[in-house]
Structure 1
Amino acid sequence: MRYIILLFIVFSSNFVLCQQDSIPKSKEARPLPKANKDLNKKIDTSKVEYEPAIADYKIISFYRDTTYVDTTLSIKKEYKYNYIRKDNFELLPFANMGQPYNKLAYNFESNFFYPKLGAMAKNYNYMEMEDIDYYNVPTPMTEVMFKTVFEEGQFLDILLTFNLSKRFNYAIAYKGFRSYGKYNNSQAEAGNFRTSANYLSENQRYSFRGHIAAQDLINEENGGLNDVVGQFESGDSDFTDRSRIDVNLTDAQSKILGKRYFFENQYKLIKKDNDSSSVEKTSLAIGHLFNYETKYYQFTQDSENAYFGDAFVATDLSDKAQLRSFYNQFSAEFYNSTLGRLKANLNIFNYNYSFNSILITDAQVINSNLKGDEISIGANYHKRIKGFNLKGDFAYNLTGDLTGSILNAEASYSLGESVFLSAKLHSSSRMPNFNYLLYQSDYSNYNWDNSNTFEKTKTNSLQFNIDSKLLGSASAKFTTLDNYSYFAVDPSVTLVEGESENQYIKPFQETSSINYIKLKYNKEFKLGNFALDNTLMYQTVSQSNDILNVPQFTTRNTLYYSKEIFKKAMFLQTGVTFKYFTSYNMNSYNPLLGELYIQNAQSLGGFPVIDFFINAKVQQTRIYLKAEHLNSSFSGYNYFSAPDNPYRDFIVRFGVVWNFFS
């Protein structure tokens, strides 16, 4: 099905691109009308042709922040040229694309008020409601990203968007890949289909936006290496071909599948503009947001394996957790150019988290589902006062057991274009994700019901940021956690030799408070065509038990050279990136749950990663070539993304990102 969709997008883009021959150049401002040689002759302005500028191709986020298509090449683009298309400085990827990421740092603030399904180690490529963008373009635009993978497969992300009229935009996109991987039973593949539309009426009173998303993420699960010391850390040449290394699981697979239908309407009952311009002065609007989503996480295995302990069945094991949710928000919004924008809302969340059976044992009865309704009220406020920008939102739960309250407040100030200051406050109370509260499995030790015993996790954080062209960017975040939920090995169990700790993984809550500090600094130094970009992070945790484990120092330093060549027909950027983090008790990965769990038996990390890259830009095309982890063969085989799961070996990968305009 995904290949049919992909072909449809490709042919659609070819059809649209053939409608016009001209391709707008990459300019920052709208060019002037074509000159008329006869200066005394009147110009019919209705027939004057304008060439759209890049800034006219607008991208609108879920939070209605507007940017435009960026076809430049920079070191920030190099950091984002990866599977999740985000800077992964605080993440540590596993050996194959599409596998989990371990965390080098944490952000506990959640934009969504309600718990999620779970399997969070597998969700980095899952696009949530707030991850979908909307567009407004003067001519059809296509963006394509291609990148090679690790073995037998490719990665492609393609987007086509066009305005059917000045006020109605449509977009369709597909992101898919397949990678066999270097290790046995590590194949990964995924498909993210999404289509969006947004509309604004001619009188600007009615607006609509919506999207449909269908996503699947499929992984073979090998449970890590069976003999880490003898076959990997020893550097034995017989095992440099990683397919020869023994793994713990050879018949297991996990899958996430989700479908979502989202739309939002708003109608302005009152709309008054300034007399001297069309800028809105006062408005009163009512709105409705609807989101319906079905999602499941499934773990399957051909036969029982002692790696997870005893099972109720010997063959065809299948664990499937499902979540169906309806979210409705009814709102009234008042805007005044002097007072700001205030929005009040009523939120209704209906959920059904379920399994396909009720588990009855001698010790307990585990029900098949958690379902109910949550009703909350909330408000949002936004105001700009010259250099100040104030934002705030809160929600308070009226009925239901999943949530308590959430508060976000932000204040920022700009000192011209050279210094930007901001402060953010977050406070929330909500239950942990559903898989902490209820889980059923064909493996006997993976069955629990904590819905009546777990408390709401309370998160409070305060963050300060400064962004200066002269001094660089710095941030300081202070976070306090109460009733923090985590997975770990059952401390009441004593493991015998040869026994896997994955037999005894359980969810727990920490009763003591955890205090977490994260300091981050970035500064780039330039000298001629050379530049040195530096990012440094320091973290410390105060806690009664070793629950939240992070490296104390993490650094990334990139020395690169930039120059226009071939008579400015190409912009070239080449350099070396060095990344290092101190060793720490790195979280381990459990493939049955799709979650990371706490372990304090092994201190891992403390290894450097050196990448060499050559990037180039020709018109709207960006070309990327990178030799990743080129020091892997001579810096020692002690690099891991999690216990028993090695980091990536040296590999050369190639890719491009290009935009078509018509």
Structure 2
Amino acid sequence: MKRIVLGFFLISLLGQINAQIAPQKRTRTTDTTVVNVKEQDTSKVVRALTKLAGLDGNESAKARIQDYLIISSENDTTYVDTTLTIQKEYKFNYLRKDNFGLIPFSNLGQTYNSLTYNFGSTSLMPEMGARARHFNFMEVEDIYYYRVPTPLTELFFKTALEQGQLLDSFFTVNTSPQFNFSIAYKGLRSLGKYQRQLTSTGNFRFTTNYQTKNNRYIIRAHFVAQDLMNQENGGIKDTSVEDFESGSPETIDRSLLEVNFDGSDDAENILLGKRFHVDHTYRLINKKDSLSENKLSIGHILSFNDKTYQFDQGQSSTIFGDAFKTSNLQDKVTLEDFYNQLHLNFSNNIIGDLQFNISNNNYNYGYNRIVILNDNTIINRLKGNVFSAGGKYHKQYKGFDLQGELGLNIAGDFDGNFLKATASFQLNQDISASATLNHSAKAPNYNVLLYQSDYVNYNWRNNFNNTETQQLAFQLKSNKYATITADFSTISDYTYFKKENDLVEAFQNSNTITYARFKLENEIKFGNFGLNNTILYQKVDGSNNTLNVPELTTRNTLYYANHMFQKALYMQTGLTFNYFTKYYMNGYDPVLAEFYVQTENKYGNFPLLDFFLNVKIRQTRIYVKAEHFNSSLTGYNFYSAPNNPYRDFVVRFGVVWNFFM
């Protein structure tokens, strides 16, 4: 509830700010927006902010939508997009990104089961674990920085499932052409349709960036604080599976279905995280002559991450085997990671862009207890330092765009290396092609190497080999025809969780796995109608059922879009069809917050049909969707994971509202 109150507080505050600086007039076109920001004598706030931004009455007459810049951690720049497209429909969800290849659990804010995997990696260090809790955890690459001519606010709202709402409020302003800050908060509370399924999550973000007037010094920094809590019911009981699949009127009320944890053995897990991140550079040389352009800069990245994962249960459950105690179970693990990188950047229009860097990771992962199992003491902590070196390269040469990146751990307890090279070429104005080679070797995740729990079976210290992956990827892209993507991966010493003898453990596959993916994306338009298709074909060999994916996954949307009421309103309506073939779908373990391999039952082969109606009025987009409206027509055999049904038919709506000065 505190998160929802905070969300409403931010909405109210930002709404009041923007109410004071509301525009007197706006001109609008279909694809871009021009916002009039000329001073009005009635608004002191407008005059103050305009002056702070360094604009006078004439210069501030018009600010284009392209001037509202969004800058990624890799310095890629886009601008605010207020159009209504089918891609916006795909991104109007809890993650606020296209979730093709993921199937969500029944309640909003729970985890997602993965229908596909990407083994291209440029990481040198293990991940914490509890990966099922990380889908909505915002990493460094998920944070953006801004540069705007006038204050900008975005309000996102969407109804949740049974007593709850999803809110995301965002505000950014340039107090001068050199300095920007932004503040945002996403909060969710949703009770869910089944027993013991409450979700309560919050993502707070603050960013700032500054550059000197001569552009020699640039700094970007952010702070994030995140808490993602889920009650865990262990899925519906085996005895309730038949009741669910029968579709009997008595069980249409899903709260009547028995779940595995519904009394004194109720459980929940939570992922907490805080991060402070700074990235700054100073330009030493910025020299131009008639033949060449030379740039030399030095940079520093500092990032401190503090994560905590905790599983609590009132009373032990036989589902997870024997326990050291029968009540008040608590598994708590922390990871502190302090990262420093120094990099030297040289740019020359003949040689290209070069970077050399050295890095240090100081890590501390573990528990505040010692476990003795079968007369063996399981250590409680992994801590130390890892030093690495690497580089980057970028060059445009005779129509080719060449990029490369490499890294190597040169000292410390974890070995690791990666190499990534990409070559892209623009064949003509519409068609481009690219090829990418990626090699990676790194240690398994921390929770695979070390785990401790009040459950006896969930205690281990493994000395697994590094997982090595090689990936070759190709893409042929045409805005007019289609985008075709193919990648081929080989994985050695793949680590995974598997359920054996009704207990989940960590394993390593010593065989080599080959994994191929082919993806087609295209859109066919005829008049005001459109057919958007995404089709994914996958094939796995040599995995011994340790890497399982559906062979075919597809999403097809037939829609109608047109202007109405003298172009004052833009409407978009249609049907989306989602489907994947049967396969050994991974199960979900709430103690680890991880998915595990199971080979007992196959799931899939059920269609998901959604009907949507979206409209845009000025800078406001309104979304209404009837999700899975065929649930009662095509059989109750839909699952997100074993014993975890997918959502029944539900109607949800929401809005995205941008405010400009």
TM exceeding 0.5: yes
Quote how far apart the aligned CAs of 1:281 are. Answer: 3.0
CA distance in 1, matches of 2:590, 2:93: 23
Aligned equivalents of 1:544 and 1:661: distance in 2? 53
Counterpart of 2:258 (choices 246, 259, 262) is 246
**Correspondence for 2:432 among 420, 423, 437:** 420
Rounded to whole Å, the distance in 1 between the matches of 2:391 and 2:59 is 46
Rounded to whole Å, the distance in 2 between the matches of 1:351 and 1:538 is 39
The answer to whether 1:164 aligns with 2:175 is yes
Distance 2:613 2:74 in 1: 35
Aligned to 1:489: 499
2:515 corresponds to which residue? 516
CA distance in 2, matches of 1:25, 1:363: 76
Match of 2:50 in 1: none
Q: Does 1:50 align with 2:61?
A: yes
Kept after mapping to 2: 8 A contact 1:522/1:535: yes
Give the Å deviation of 1:114: 1.2
Q: Which amino acid aligns with 2:68?
A: Y
Which stretches of structure 1, 4 residues or longer, exceed 6 Å deviation after superposition? 29-34
Give the letter aligned to residue 79 of structure 1. Answer: Y
2:341 paired with 1:321 = no
Structure 2 residue runs of 5 or longer lacking an equivalent are 39-55
Higher deviation after alignment, 532-541 or 400-409: 400-409
- Which position in structure 2 is the counterpart of 1:183? 194
Contact 2:572 2:613 in 1 (8 A): yes
Matches within 5 A, 1:114-133: 114-133=125-144
Q: Indicate how the Cα distance of structure 1 residues 619 and 274 shifts in structure 2: closer, same or farther if over 3 A, else same.
A: farther
CA distance in 1, matches of 2:541, 2:162: 43
Give the alignment of 1:219-234 within 5 angstroms: 219-226=230-237, 227-234=239-246
User: What's the counterpart of residue 38 of structure 1?
Assistant: none
One-letter code of the match for 2:614?
A: N
Residues 1:456 and 2:455 are matched in the alignment? no
CA distance in 1 between partners of 2:298 and 2:451 (Å): 40
- The 2-side partners of 1:228 and 1:109 are apart by 40
Q: Distance in 2 between matches of 1:335 and 1:319?
A: 50
Shift of 1:99: 0.8
Higher mean C-alpha displacement, 465-474 vs 119-128: 465-474
What is the CA-CA distance between 1:624 and the residue it aligns to?
0.5
The aligned residue for residue 247 of structure 2 is 235
> In structure 2, what residue type is equivalent to 1:534?
N
Structure 1 residue 364 displacement after superposition: 1.3
Q: 1:310 to 1:164 in 2, by over 3 A?
A: same
Describe the SS at the equivalent of 1:130: helix
- Cα displacement (A) at 1:407: 1.0
Work out the CA distance in 1 between the residues paired with 2:390 and 2:657: 42
Residue matched to 1:73: 84
1 CA distance for matches of 2:316 and 2:356? 53
One-letter code aligned to 2:220: R
Q: Within 5 A, what are the aligned runs for 1:254-333?
A: 254-273=269-288, 281-333=293-345
**In 2, Cα distance between the equivalents of 1:240 and 1:26?**
47
The CA deviation string for residues 508-567 of structure 1, in whole angstroms up to 9 with x for no partner, is 000000000000001111111111111111100011511111111111111100110111
| Cα distance, 1:76 vs structure 2 | 0.7
Contact 1:9 1:160 in 2 (8 A): no
Which secondary structure state, in structure 2, belongs to the residue aligned with residue 435 of structure 1?
helix
Distance (Å, rounded) in 1 between the aligned partners of 2:543 and 2:367? 36
Q: Which SS does the other structure have where 2:63 is aligned?
A: coil
Shift in Å, 1:343: 0.9
- Cα RMSD for the two superposed structures: 1.9
Distance 2:298 2:450 in 1: 38
Residues 115 and 432, structure 1, Cα contact 8 Å, conserved in 2:
yes
Q: Check if 1:391 corresponds to 2:406.
A: no
1:322 & 1:170 partners in 2: Cα distance?
A: 30
Conservation of the 8 A alpha-carbon contact between 2:311 and 2:591: yes
2: CA distance, partners of 1:269 / 1:395: 25
Aligned to 1:621: 620
TM-superposed CA distance for 1:33, in Å, is 12
**Is residue 580 of structure 1 aligned with residue 582 of structure 2?**
no
C-alpha separation between the residues in 2 aligned to 1:370 and 1:420? 46
Q: d(CA) in 2 for partners of 1:641 and 1:623?
A: 28
Aligned to 1:468: 478
Letter matched to residue 634 of structure 1: L
Distance 2:82 2:36 in 1: 21
Deviations 1:127-157 (A, max 9, x none): 0011100000000000111100111010011
Pick from 177, 181, 204 the counterpart of residue 215 of structure 2: 204
Q: TM (normalized to structure 2)?
A: 0.93
Distance 1:21 1:222, change over 3 A: closer
User: What's the counterpart of residue 42 of structure 1?
Assistant: none
In structure 1, stretches of 5+ residues that fail to align are 35-44, 494-500
Deviations 1:462-494 (A, max 9, x none): 11001113431100010110000000023xx4x
Render the CA deviation track for 1:189-209: whole Å, top value 9, x for unaligned. 100001000111101100000
CA deviation after TM superposition for structure 1 residue 31, in Å: 9.2
Contact 2:267 2:313 in 1 (8 A): yes
CA distance in 2, matches of 1:576, 1:126: 30
Residues 488-507 of structure 1 aligned to structure 2 (within 5 Å): 488-490=498-500, 493=501, 501=502, 504-507=503-506
- Amino acid of the residue matched to residue 371 of structure 1? K
Identify the residue that residue 560 of structure 2 maps to in structure 1: 561
CA distance in 1, matches of 2:313, 2:476: 50
Q: How does 1:9-28 map to 2 (within 5 A)?
A: 9-22=10-23, 24-26=26-28, 28=32
Instruction: Work out whether residues 455 and 483 of structure 1, in 8 Å CA contact, stay in contact via their aligned partners in 2.
Output: yes
Distance (Å, rounded) in 2 between the aligned partners of 1:654 and 1:290 = 41
How many Å separate the matches in 1 of 2:190 and 2:35? 45
DSSP-derived class of the 1:52 partner: strand
What letter corresponds to residue 349 of structure 1 in structure 2? N
Q: Deviations over 1:332-390 (max 9, x none)?
A: 11112332211110010000001010111334110110001000000011123363222
The offset of 1:286, in angstroms, is 0.7
Q: SS at 1:377's partner residue?
A: strand
1:348 lines up with 2:347 in the alignment: no
Asked if structure 2 preserves the Cα contact closer than 8 Å seen for 1:26 and 1:53, the reply is no
- Per the alignment, residue 228 of structure 2 pairs with 217
Tell me by how many angstroms 1:50 deviates.
2.6
Name the CA shift for 1:352/1:32 in 2 (closer, same or farther; >3 Å): closer
Q: What is residue 590 of structure 1 aligned with on the other side? A: 589
SS at match of 2:14: helix
Aligned residues: 636
Cα distance, 1:118–1:637 mapped onto 2, change above 3 Å: same
User: How much has 1:85 moved relative to structure 2?
Assistant: 1.0
> CA 1:79–1:32 in 2, change beyond 3 Å: closer, same or farther?
closer
Residue 481 of structure 2 is aligned to residue 480 of structure 1: no
Q: Is the 8 A contact 1:624 1:655 kept in 2?
A: yes
SS of the residue 1:243 aligns to: helix
Going from structure 1 to structure 2, the CA distance change for 1:583 and 1:51 (only over 3 Å counts) comes to same
1:141-184, Cα deviation, whole Å (9 max, x unpaired): 00111100111010011110000100111000000110000000
Kindly tell me: are residues 193 and 25 of structure 1, through their superposed partners in 2, closer, same or farther at Cα, counting changes over 3 Å?
Answer: farther
Letter in 1 for 2:18: L
Residue in 2 that maps onto 1:41: none
How much does 1:588 deviate? 0.4
Provide, for residues 76-109 of structure 1, a one-character-per-residue CA deviation record: whole Å limited to 9, x for no partner.
Answer: 1111111101111100111011111111111122
Alignment CA distance shift 1:154-1:48 (3 Å): closer
Which one of 405, 411, 422 corresponds to residue 423 of structure 2? Answer: 411
Cα distance in 1 for residues equivalent to 2:37 and 2:165: 44
Alpha-carbon distance in structure 2 between the residues aligned to 1:656 and 1:112: 37
Query: How has the CA–CA distance of structure 1 residues 442 and 26 changed in structure 2, closer, same or farther, with 3 Å as cutoff?
Result: farther
Contact 2:7-2:168 within 8 A present in 1 as well: no
1:84 aligns with: 95
Distance across 1 between alignment mates of 2:164 and 2:659: 25
Q: What percent identity do the matched residue pairs reach? A: 48
Question: Within 2, Cα distance between the matches of 1:167 and 1:643?
Answer: 53
Query: Distance between the aligned counterparts of 2:22 and 2:246, measured in 1?
Result: 60
CA 1:111 to 1:159, structure 2 compared with 1: closer, same or farther past 3 Å? farther
